[in-house]
């Protein structure tokens, strides 16, 4: 039953108040509260206007006096109404009038007064938004990334649960901005053994991945306007932090020995930072030669610049010895004033949504970078760190890497074999000693019929996810090619996907 009454008081303005019975409408006192509040905010009930006595209003609305009392009490507590039951209740005079005018619909002047759309972002915000985040595509051939189906989650989940059912007493409390010591120790040991890095645990800082690592390094070591060497073609994900830091990105071409230091010296000799992936360039797969590594270190020393070594998939090497990291080479070959900052990640070995990585920083940067980290993002979450530390210490991590390395090597071989059989005349695939993807070059014949972007679109139409190599280039002119990730595809599904790809590329 609806009862609708207008306030019968003579003092204007009259305001409509309606109470509706029934569970759906909610408690009556709350309905009354909401309506009076709305009238106050809209200006219909102006400051100083006196409200009816609770008994009168209750009679008018056909509800209990308690309903009105409850509504008035709430409004008094929050400041919409003032006064007291004894001396009368009125709309608070402390509410600003100009607000009422606005609320009644008067538009405010000013260029940025309307929300809406990306026009509201700052110039920096627009540049960042433009980088073009693409939602993850469907899972399947030939998406980039690891095979997460083989991660021993039974073990992982068991350790995770055990670590938190009865956590070590210090664990829930705020931690070290550089991260949980046992994990830092486990990482330092692992890197010394497998990558010939020169480091102790204090040089290890835990991050959420390469982007956060670069974000931290860029803001701590660069000022707006400082130049940075970026591999071209390269990994677009690293551009955001550099742009956000106000850096001047200088694209440096990559040849068969890696980033061209000669070009870098030519285009930006006074750059403050070079971001490179010397173990396995992305996307081309080039391994930076020893000579080029020494040239790069040479330049960094003479320029007083830093090098961020992005080592994103170094666990997966199928032939040959793993090359020592650039960081380790530096330590062995010079005066020891470290210029190389090493960034690694667990995303490719564990799973992408883990979001855990690490930096290995030169000793003189430990303290400053820790301070900057703390100023920007406190400390890394403690939930996963002890679990990963145990996972590594108990040998599950190494076992998983070894197991996946065998799978991935076999999948690469299967892809090469299927390519030889089905993609002849269209795509040329070469083996890669490392990584989780191959670069397939368009043959001249195919290249005359379509660009690599068009080839990728055709493949997508056939349900095969490949990325165009040209999409990774900013200024560089690459021979057209496609990236085929093979790690996440079951071996026996590879040939079928290659056949579908071949058909999609037919004339």
Distance CA 280, CA 42 (A): 63
Beta carbon nearer to its own copies, 259 or 419: 259
Tell me the CA distances in angstroms from 322 to 197, 279, 318, 362, 367, one per residue in order.
Answer: 12, 8, 9, 22, 31
Distance CA 206, CA 507 (A): 50
Q: How far is the CB of 441 from its own copies (least distance, A)?
A: 25
DSSP E strands, 330-390:
340-345, 357-360
The answer to whether the beta carbons of residues 306 and 217 sit under 8 Å apart is yes
For residue 355 the two structure tokens come to 């979001």
* Contact residues for 283 (Cβ-Cβ < 8 A; gap 6+): 233, 234, 235, 437, 439, 467, 469, 472, 483
Q: How far is the CB of 308 from its own copies (least distance, A)?
A: 14
Nearest to 48 by CA among 96, 93, 97: 93
Beta carbon nearer to its own copies, 177 or 234: 177
Buried b (16+ CB within 10 A) or exposed e, 478-494: bebbbbbbbbbbeeeeb
Q: Which one-letter DSSP state was computed for residue 360?
A: E
Q: How far is the CB of 221 from its own copies (least distance, A)?
A: 5
Distance CA 237, CA 294 (A): 26
Beta carbon nearer to its own copies, 283 or 357: 357
Q: How far is the CB of 507 from its own copies (least distance, A)?
A: 35
For residue 279 the two structure tokens come to 């173990």
Beta carbon nearer to its own copies, 253 or 386: 386
Beta carbon nearer to its own copies, 117 or 507: 117
Q: How far is the CB of 96 from its own copies (least distance, A)?
A: 5
For residue 237 the two structure tokens come to 């994900």
Q: How far is the CB of 303 from its own copies (least distance, A)?
A: 7
Beta carbon nearer to its own copies, 42 or 430: 42
DSSP E strands, 244-366:
248-255, 258-259, 273-276, 306-311, 340-345, 357-360
Q: How far is the CB of 321 from its own copies (least distance, A)?
A: 6
| Neighbour count for residue 466 (Cβ, 10 Å) | 27
Beta carbon nearer to its own copies, 161 or 431: 161
Q: How far is the CB of 366 from its own copies (least distance, A)?
A: 11
Nearest to 245 by CA among 207, 217, 275, 208: 217
Beta carbon nearer to its own copies, 257 or 451: 257
Pairing of strands 2-6, 16-20: antiparallel
Distance CA 98, CA 389 (A): 59
| Neighbour count for residue 386 (Cβ, 10 Å) | 21
């Amino acid at each position: 039953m609806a009862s609708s009454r207008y306030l019968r008081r003579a003092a204007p303005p009259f305001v409509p108040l309606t109470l509706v019975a029934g569970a759906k409408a909610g408690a009556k006192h709350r309905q009354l509260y909401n309506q009076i509040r709305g009238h106050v905010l809209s200006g219909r009930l102006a400051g100083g206007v006196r409200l009816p006595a609770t008994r009168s209003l209750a009679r008018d609305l056909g509800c209990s006096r308690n309903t009105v009392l409850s509504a008035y009490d709430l409004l008094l507590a929050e400041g919409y109404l003032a006064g007291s039951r004894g001396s009368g209740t009125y709309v608070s005079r402390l509410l600003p009038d100009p607000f009422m005018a606005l609320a009644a619909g008067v538009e405010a002047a000013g260029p940025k007064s309307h929300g809406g759309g990306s026009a509201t972002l700052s110039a920096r915000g627009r540049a960042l938004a433009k980088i073009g985040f693409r939602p993850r595509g469907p899972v399947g051939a030939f998406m980039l990334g690891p095979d997460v189906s083989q991660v021993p989650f039974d073990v992982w989940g068991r350790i995770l649960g055990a670590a938190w059912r009865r956590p070590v007493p210090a664990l829930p409390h705020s931690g070290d901005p550089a991260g949980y010591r046992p994990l830092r120790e486990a990482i330092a040991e692992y890197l010394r053994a497998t990558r010939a890095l020169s480091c102790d645990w204090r040089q290890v800082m835990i991050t959420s991945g390469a982007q956060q690592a670069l974000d931290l390094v860029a803001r701590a070591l660069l000022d707006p306007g400082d130049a940075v060497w970026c591999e071209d073609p390269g990994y677009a994900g690293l551009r955001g932090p550099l742009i956000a830091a106000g850096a001047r990105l200088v694209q440096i071409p990559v040849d068969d020995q890696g980033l061209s230091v000669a070009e870098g010296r030519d285009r930006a000799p006074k750059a403050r930072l070079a971001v490179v992936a010397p173990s396995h360039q992305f996307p081309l797969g080039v391994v930076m030669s020893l000579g080029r590594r020494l040239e790069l270190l040479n330049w960094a020393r003479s320029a007083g610049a830093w090098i961020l070594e992005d080592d994103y998939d170094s666990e997966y090497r199928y032939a040959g010895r793993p090359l020592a990291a650039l960081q380790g080479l530096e330590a062995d070959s010079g005066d020891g004033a470290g210029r190389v900052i090493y960034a690694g990640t667990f995303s490719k070995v564990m799973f992408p949504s883990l979001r855990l990585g690490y930096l290995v920083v030169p000793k003189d940067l430990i303290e400053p970078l820790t301070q900057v980290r703390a100023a920007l993002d406190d400390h890394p979450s403690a939930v996963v760190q002890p679990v990963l530390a145990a996972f590594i210490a108990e040998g599950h991590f190494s076992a998983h890497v070894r197991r996946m390395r065998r799978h991935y090597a076999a999948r690469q071989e299967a892809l090469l074999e299927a390519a030889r059989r089905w993609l002849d005349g269209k795509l040329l695939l070469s083996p890669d000693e490392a990584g989780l993807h191959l670069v397939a070059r368009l043959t001249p014949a195919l290249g005359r019929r379509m660009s690599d972007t068009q080839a990728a679109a055709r493949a997508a139409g056939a349900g095969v996810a490949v990325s165009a190599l040209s999409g990774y280039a900013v200024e560089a002119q690459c021979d057209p090619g496609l990236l085929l990730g093979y790690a996440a595809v079951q071996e026996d599904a590879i040939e079928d996907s290659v056949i579908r790809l071949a058909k999609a590329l037919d004339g």
